[in-house]
Structures are given as C-alpha cells and as structure tokens.
Chains A and B, each alone.
Chain A
Amino acid sequence: MNTTSITDEQMVGLFETMTLIRVFEERVHSLFQDGELPGLLHLCSGQEAVAAGVMAHLGAADMITSTHRNHGHALAKGVSPASMMIELYGRSGGTNDGKGGSMHIADASVGHLASGGIVGAGVPLAMGPAQAAKLDGRPDVAVTFFGDGGAQQGTVLESMNLAAVWALPAIFICENNLFGQATPVAYASAVAPHQRAEGFGLPSELVDGQDAVAVFEAAGRAVSRARAGNGPTFVECQTYSYHGSWEGESKRSYRLPEVETDFRTRDPLRILDERLADSLQGWADIRDQIEEDMHDVVDQAVEAGRNAPRPDPAAGLVGVYADELVDVDRDGLSTY
C-alpha cells in the first residue's frame, strides 16, 4: 500500500529513531532486572512509532512536554542517550544532574521542556511555549503527549479549551495504550479520547499508533495547521506498552493474552520494516547496519552511565531557587 507521500529517506529516519528507542528500552529493562538501575521506570517498548512519527516534524525550537513514560519522546526529540542513561543510573552529569531521574527527563536545549510523575500535568505547561510562539510571531509549535489515562484529567480538558480559544499552535498527542495503569480505557472513558476534541472545537484524528507512517502523516497535518496559524489539533494514536505500566509490575494478571498477541503481531518496527522492504532496494543491509549502530549507541550510553561519578550528596541542596539576589539556606530561610 504505497499511497503515501512519505519518502524512503523519511521512513529510514523513522526506523532509525524507533530502533534506538527499542534497543534503549530493552536494555533499561534488563539492567533494571539485574538490579543495576534504581528508580521507578515506565518503558515505552511497543509505542515507538508515536514518538518517532511526531518528532520527525519538529525542530529544536518546537517544544514538547512529556509524561512519566518519556524515554521514547526524549530520544526522538534528540536528547542524548548517554546523558539519559547517566540520569537513569543516578549519576552526575546527565540530563538532570541526578535531580530528576527517569520520570523527569528533559532537555530544553533540544526542545524537550518537561516530563513528570503527575498524570496530565505536562499538558498545561505546553500551552506556555505555544502562547510564546504565537505572541512572538514565530512559526514554532508545542506538542504535548499524554496517555489514555491522562486524557481523563481536567488539566487536559482545560488545556484543550484554552488552546482552542487562544488559537494556539499546540498539538495534543494522546497515546492510547489501552490502560491507565491496570484500568482499561473502555472503563475509564465513556468515549474514545479523540471524540471529545470536536466538542472543544479542535480538529482531531484517530490513527493506528503502530503504523509509523500513519502517525507521521497525521502529525504532519497537525504541525502544518499549527505553523500556518490555524490553531490546535488533537491526535489519538492507538498503541500498546509491551512492558505494562511500570517495571516490576505483575502485568499478566490484567492483560488479555489475545490483545497482547495482536499488538505484538502488529509490532511498529515490523510494520515499518515490511514497508521499507517493499519500497527500498537493499533495505535488509541498511536495516542491519542501523540495528548495529543503535546497539553501539546504547552500549556507549550504558558505559557512560556506569562510569559517570556518583553525585556529591551536598549537590542536592543546590538549585532550589534560580534567583541569586536572595540566598536561601538549608532550612528555607533568607540569608542575604
């Protein structure tokens, strides 16, 4: 089915990004199982096509906000894998200097504004860069990611309305992976999340989140609309998280085997691999090289994590406030 406008080169780019995410997440999974990584980790294996397909349209001046399940968004947005791995190891010199950990990965220098552990909380934050771009007259956009769980939060609904009434260049990407933790979306939401968008005056689309090309095209339409000054868009991507909600959960107790099998059959990397095999001469060799390269990148990231210094415990006391006019001591008192 080659009715799309995407080029082979763009598809190869998507495959590369998705492979990086998959290799990174699977390595994090095994490192955590081995007891090498601390923390509360939420992996996105199975959801790679969404991050890759959306981010392919964005530059460093386009800001995103992400969720607790943010590794894929960060890698696709251009955050350094080594820097992220250092953060996951809890060492010094990574994305957040040990003050954020897995759930708070961000790097504003590449346009990744914030992630966090509060479901739905990143969505209002993205309205700021969208408002700033509009006030400045820049063509930049802001993209906010949230899950089917987050879609039930008032913060998301308030932001959809605000983006609509302010006509902001904001794009709402709902990653519907069927579960908010262990609660199925069909239980938590009376309608599919994208169906609410119309009521807010937002154009919306429902796409197969396992198909990177479908995501790429829907995101392209949304980004073009925003850059042209035509306001926000809502895109719901149907996808699946292979590792469940968080590392270490007993996910088998709430997941239906047939659904799991269905999504694994429709693996996003496999779907894109098949498209490229049909479309691009010599794809198998290119694919093998990409996979080798991405394994090298992740190997190096793990080495960087292992070798990074442990933070000085006193470093945690620094940086609560940015302003240097008022000094604040350990007990929160002013020490001018």
Chain B
Amino acid sequence: MRKISFSDAINEALREEMRRDPRVIVTGEDVAGGATIRGFERRDAWGGVFGVTRELVSEFGRDRVIDTPISESAYLGAAIGAATQGYRTVTEIQFLDFIGVCLDQVVNQAAKLHYARGSKGSGIPLVIRAMVGAGVRAGGTQSQSFYSAMAHFPGIKVVAPANPADAKGLMLASIRDQDPVFFMEHKGLYETSGEVPEGEHLVPLGRASVVREGEDVTVVAIARMVQVAERAADLLKAEGIGVEIVDPRTIAPLDYATISASVAKTGRLVVVDEDTPRCSVASDIVGLVASRDFDALRSAPSMVTAPHTPVPAAPELEDAYTPDADQVMAAIRKVVA
C-alpha cells in the first residue's frame, strides 16, 4: 500500500468528501491563505498554517474554502448555524489553545442546540479542526493538549488520531457524523507517514484500536503518545514484558469496552497522555477501570502524563515536560513488578 503523511491523509479526506458532497465547506484562518487577494482567487498561498488544507481552494474555489477574520466566535457560530441549513463545515481554529476565545460557541451552542430542540432536532453536523501537542518550542499558549476539557461536555465528540490511516478514516467519519466533532491534530504527527488506503476508508467514531497485543500490561495511549508507547513496548520485549497498546482514537464517546477487555486480559494498566494530569483523559480512564474493573486489576494503575504546569518553550524544558519512552517503561516495570 502507498504511504502518505498524516497531513496529506487529512488533506485527502477533505478533498474526497468535498468532491462527494457539495455541501461540505472549509472555513478558518488562512485555510486558503492569500486567496482573498485580488488576482489570487484560485491560487493557493498557505492552505492553513501547516498546509493541511493546501490546494483545496484551487479545486473548489473561494465559495467552499473560505478564509475568515481572526474572529473564532463569529466563524464558529456561522458554522453551527450553517449546520442547521444542510451545510457541513470543517472549520479550523488552528491551535486548540485558541478555543478560550470562542468556548461558548462550542459548549453552550454547538453542544446543546440539538438537545434543546427536543424531538425536532436534526443534529449539528460540524467538524472543528484543532492542533494539539508540544514539541515546536512555542510556549504555553500554542502547545496544549487539553482535549479532556472538550470531552467534558455532553453533545460534543472528540477524536484524536495517532496515524495517517486513522487520520483519514476518522476525518471521513467525522464529516459524515450528525454531531459536532472536535478533530485533534497533533503537530508532531503531521510529517509522519504510514500506509493509507485510497478512496473510501471510514474509521467509525467511538471505536478504539488495539495497536499491538500483549499479555502483561495494557497501555492506553493517545495521539502522539501511541508512538512513544510503541517504542517503550519494543524496548521492553528484551525484558520479556508483553505490552498491549490500546489507542482510543475517539476520546468522546470513549470505547471503554475495548479498554475493559484488554485490562481483563492483562490485569494491569498504564495510561500515557501528553495532557496535564488533573481532570484529564488519563485520570478518567484510570477512574473508569478502578470503578468498573477493580477485580481484574493485579496492581494499581499508573498514569504517565505531562506535569501540572504550563508548556514551557525552551527545548530542554519542553522535552522534560513531554512524556517519553523512558517514563513509560518505568511505569510499566512498576505495574508488572
């Protein structure tokens, strides 16, 4: 199978859905990027700050690939309103960190409009693309991974792909979903490549993936942390420890059944998450396992997360902030001891 990058996989998903469904549109800051300059109407300047939406405007035009002012509340609100009129907007807020300026539109409008309409509701189909993750030395306001905050709200779905194939498949499924979906893109994954099926490749929301099987410990890892967990698992083979890695893929609604089945098999749990530890997806998963599958546990579950600090900028500080394979291995050794 051909290999393409995580970034290209998302781009391909957007392109295929826009070809298939004329009501799919893309909005956000610089998603065309310069195409609003006179004479540049079909020319592609940026295609998003990291180029994920590049060359969409040249194929679909400015009516479907629409640059916005830096007014997240206004264009997110427009996307929600357009969702009630048959449009499916894939809107980009660039960094998840920016959600603070428009959070109301997410948690009180997108999340609740369908519910409040009672039996007359027909959904709010909408995808909000947001970049997460440390590693680009950007400091505390363009590096966070607080997807747990979005997952807190009933009515919102949250996905966080860890590889190019899932990025494409989850994007297709997110666009076709009838509900608002946060699509979390880890910056550190954009240039990674992997096998991605051509054409229709749907990965259903709400289904975890068992990335590798093992007998001794279940490691649940999210987004870029799946790579970190795989490296740790490779290294621990020499020590005779069999690591089973579960990638939730969708954070809300969480596929707890797959995690539960894995813990039933291994009896041990480590959750690896780049987010800070308090009220996090990691603490949520540990809590679920402790309350529902306590009897299956042979040792206390462990969390490997960032510390409870902002993301620092300097390379040494940021590297120390981000969970790595050594920390994951240490946690695994402790729970299997």
B195 adjacent to chain A (CB < 8 Å) = no
Task: Kindly state the separation between the CA atoms of A114 and B105 in the bound complex, as whole angstroms.
Answer: 13
User: Can you report 13 residue pairs joining A to B where beta carbons are below 8 Å apart?
Assistant: A96-B120, A99-B115, A99-B117, A99-B118, A100-B116, A100-B117, A127-B77, A128-B85, A128-B87, A142-B81, A322-B179, A332-B254, A334-B207
Chain B, interface residues (CB within 8 Å), range: 35 or more
Q: Count how many pairs of residues, one from A and one from B, have CB atoms less than 8 Å apart in the complex.
A: 190
Task: Kindly state the separation between the CA atoms of A323 and B79 in the bound complex, as whole angstroms.
Answer: 18
Which chain B residues border A135 with CB–CB below 8 Å? 25, 63, 87
Q: Nearest B residue to A319 by beta-carbon distance?
A: B115
Task: Kindly state the separation between the CA atoms of A129 and B113 in the bound complex, as whole angstroms.
Answer: 15
A325 adjacent to chain B (CB < 8 Å) = yes
Contact A116:B207 (CB < 8 A) given known A104-B116, A108-B120, A162-B74: no
A126 adjacent to chain B (CB < 8 Å) = yes
Residues of B within 8 A of A (CB): 25, 63, 68-69, 71, 73-87, 104-105, 108-109, 113-124, 154-155, 157, 173, 177-179, 204-207, 250, 252-257, 288
Are A127 and B206 closer than 8 Å at their CB atoms?
no
Give the most central of A95, A125, A327: most B CB within 10 Å.
Answer: A125
Which chain A residues border B124 with CB–CB below 8 Å? 322
Which chain A residues border B154 with CB–CB below 8 Å? 320, 332
A248 adjacent to chain B (CB < 8 Å) = no
A326 adjacent to chain B (CB < 8 Å) = yes
Partner of B73, one of A109, A155, A335: A155
CB contacts under 8 Å to B, within A106-138, are 106-109, 113-114, 116-118, 121, 123-133, 135
Task: Kindly state the separation between the CA atoms of A142 and B73 in the bound complex, as whole angstroms.
Answer: 17
Task: Kindly state the separation between the CA atoms of A135 and B115 in the bound complex, as whole angstroms.
Answer: 27
A201 adjacent to chain B (CB < 8 Å) = no
Are A328 and B206 closer than 8 Å at their CB atoms?
yes
Contact A326:B206 (CB < 8 A) given known A113-B84, A124-B74: yes
Interchain nearest-CB distance for A63 vs B (Å): 8
In the complex, besides A135-B63, A155-B73, A158-B71, 6 extra interface pairs with C-beta distance below 8 angstroms are A121-B77, A128-B82, A131-B87, A159-B71, A324-B178, A333-B254
Which chain B residues border A65 with CB–CB below 8 Å? 81
Contact A319:B121 (CB < 8 A) given known A121-B105, A128-B82, A128-B83: yes
CB contacts under 8 Å to B, within A304-336, are 319-329, 332-336
Are B86 and A132 closer than 8 Å at their CB atoms?
yes
Are A332 and B253 closer than 8 Å at their CB atoms?
yes
Are A321 and B118 closer than 8 Å at their CB atoms?
no
Which chain A residues border B108 with CB–CB below 8 Å? 116-118, 121
Are A107 and B120 closer than 8 Å at their CB atoms?
yes
Are A326 and B205 closer than 8 Å at their CB atoms?
yes
What's the tally of chain A residues with a CB closer than 8 Å to chain B?
55
Task: Kindly state the separation between the CA atoms of A320 and B252 in the bound complex, as whole angstroms.
Answer: 12
Partner of B109, one of A95, A116, A131, A334: A116
Partner of A131, one of B78, B206, B255: B78
A154 adjacent to chain B (CB < 8 Å) = yes
Interchain nearest-CB distance for A127 vs B (Å): 4
Interchain nearest-CB distance for A197 vs B (Å): 15
Task: Kindly state the separation between the CA atoms of A89 and B275 in the bound complex, as whole angstroms.
Answer: 44
Are A321 and B116 closer than 8 Å at their CB atoms?
no
Task: Kindly state the separation between the CA atoms of A325 and B157 in the bound complex, as whole angstroms.
Answer: 13
Which chain B residues border A130 with CB–CB below 8 Å? 78, 81
Interchain nearest-CB distance for B313 vs A (Å): 28
Contact A334:B78 (CB < 8 A) given known A98-B118, A135-B87, A321-B114: no
A31 adjacent to chain B (CB < 8 Å) = no
Task: Kindly state the separation between the CA atoms of A98 and B69 in the bound complex, as whole angstroms.
Answer: 37
